[in-house]
Amino acid sequence: MAQQASGTNPLAGHLKWPGVRYPFGANYNGFGTNFALFADQAEAVYLCLIDPDGGEQQLRLHDKTAGVWHCFLPMVGPGQRYGYRVHGPWDPARGLRYNPQKLLLDPYAKAIFGMSDNTQAVFGHTFGQPDVQDTTDSLGHTMLSVVTSPFFDWSGDTRPARPYSETIIYEAHVKGLTIRHPDIPPILQGTYAGLAHPVMVDYLRQLGVTAVELMPVHQFVQDSFLTQSGRRNYWGYNTIGFFAPHNEYSASGMAGEQVNEFKAMVRELHRAGIEVILDVVYNHTAEGNGLGPTLSFRGIANSTYYRLVESDPRHYFDTTGTGNSFNVRQPHALQLIMDSLRYWVTEMHVDGFRFDLASSLAREHGSVDRLATFFDLVQQDPVVSQVKLIAEPWDLGEGGYQVGNFPALWTEWNGKYRDTARDYWRGQPASLPEIASRFTGSSDLYLDDGRSPHASINFITAHDGFSLRDLVSYNEKHNEDNGEQNRDGESFNRSWNCGVEGPTDDPAVLALRARQQRNLMATLLLSQGVPMILHGDELGRTQLGNNNAYCQDNELAWVDWVNLDHDMLTFTRMLTQLRRAHPIFRRQRFFQGRPITSWAQVPDISWLRPSGEPMTDQDWRVGYAKTLTVVLNGEALNERDRFGIPVRDSSFSVFFNASEIPAQCLVPGRTEATRWRLVFDTADWPASAAPGEVDAGAMWTVRERSIVVLQAVS
């Protein structure tokens, strides 16, 4: 064990009060800090105070209440680095992996200093001998917990509290979004402060998004298999600190400064009316399987925090593909998750969460159960239940694909929407009925349990897969740079390269790709449900065919702010403005397909053949059909605003043509309108932005692979 040394506070070794068992972690009250650690099977626990020069002072904890070791240290405050050494049996066969030679992170640490170096010192076992305990001291090789201050000037911060009906999500990476932005000072690029910079905030506001969904900002680690090959964990789905903002995204420092910088970012985004949603990874931790490092949970309470194989506790039960699964069957593990969620809402002021591999959180006895304890706790929690809750409704276990099966309080990443939109626009046969269902909110998935269209988080691209530009430029993945012989990543992308794989100078191919991007973006932003845009898709961002950039912390994955697709940006801004201005595109109830009011005898939605006649059951079954007209009746919303006033809107006609040939479509002319105004034509952008009107009953040529939108004017 490391030698004791004098700490930063000479009084700390003499003043050690019992303290209290809750709240967990290190909590400063203005006079001193209370430390509390759950380690119910430990034989002894030492709190280790670490000097800036690496010196260590060990303080044995004598007070233990209900499995929690605790003490209070007067005069110890923010900035103090610390860790724990936990004594107990080393017996992997029984699931016990205590090793006091390893300095452990506090599971409740609110800030983390440094990064582990992945040498033998941070592993509890000896390399090549997984059942043999390693005796190398990890101090100087591992990360340190930091005491933080709870005090921050929020300047009257108020949450935007956007209803789902007004929400447009922008999935973003803190570093990747800003690190190449030429108008952000270099010292702030790639940081929380960079995202909060006025240039970035103004961009998001002008783009028309109402929420940023940040890829993981919980403290994560750099995986040894990546660092050994000169690569880095870019995405961050490898959490080790569920309360700590990732320290590498801080411009101000790692000794607690990252907490205030994150809070300042949230405050500035809120001032612009933009919500902050966190992509959170509670399904596993960065410690991996039994061959992984001992950084925190494994050395504190292995069988509490991790689900072990019951017949052989040496091994970890894994439904996540990462080596371990968080033990949602254990009350203290569940408590940590709920404490973490509440902390980020109450203390960090975030507005919601997207749960990575959320199905794994519902596995108490192997299968996915929508009645799982975790969902009950969320439902009952007065804080967490009131923010946005978004599930990634699948994991890698048996029966893990659960789209449409989450409880009513939740919204879901709609993977069926993604697949259908891609299939339709690449010209797959028999996709017309499916695209109609997804365009109107996926009632087949969400209506039966009483949810609204906004239960569907619609997306066409996300971090995990092709960017929008690459979706129309590559048939195959090109992940050679990942060092895995192109075996990693999804092989079935439902993409279409428009005739040429990758970069080309062919103007016809480039024009088609640009149109396809507009088609997909327009479909997304005009569909019922909540749209989510992947950062950079509005700019034409490319990853050169890499659909799994998890380890590409470089220019391949970062947003290029110099070589912009200005036409695509303008088009996307037009779409967000259109959606914001017209509630017909963001209904709070599903369409009924019939007249629903006494004053509007026209159905709330009409599906028409190109000839203008209503679609029949036989029409929907024609496998080769790829052309469709949908009329959205703005007089039949059957909704009221917050003041109880009935909502009215213009009516719109939307012509879809995914065919390779133009289609002659009749402009609707029953009682919806006598004249229509062209809003846009994806085959004729930006020229179609110019106003123009057409009479009802006229024929409109809808170009091949395009969308035309008309608005009723009379």
> Which residues have a catalytic role annotated?
356, 392
Q: Could you tell me if 467 and 541 are in contact, meaning their C-beta atoms sit under 8 angstroms apart? A: yes
Position 363, amino acid: R
Q: Give the angle subtended at the CA of 259 by the CAs of 123 and 83, to the nearest 5°.
A: 30
CA distance 521 to 518: 5
What are the distances in angstroms from CA 126 to CA 122, 135, 293, 341?
Answer: 10, 8, 11, 36
- For the chain, how far is it from start to end, CA to CA, in angstroms? 83
Q: Give the angle subtended at the CA of 533 by the CAs of 531 and 538, to the nearest 5°.
A: 130
| Phi/psi at 389 (5° precision) | -125, 110
Return the DSSP state at 394.
Answer: -
Nearest to 246 by CA among 230, 231, 265, 228: 265
Q: Could you tell me if 159 and 275 are in contact, meaning their C-beta atoms sit under 8 angstroms apart? A: yes
| Phi/psi at 652 (5° precision) | -135, 145
CA-based torsion, 614, 617, 619, 625: positive or negative: positive
| Phi/psi at 624 (5° precision) | -85, -10
Q: 377-394 burial string, b = 16+ CB within 10 Å, else e?
A: bbeeeeebeebbbbbbbb
CA distance 388 to 15: 44
What are the distances in angstroms from CA 119 to CA 85, 235, 289?
Answer: 18, 22, 17
Enclosing H/E stretch for 627 = strand 627-632
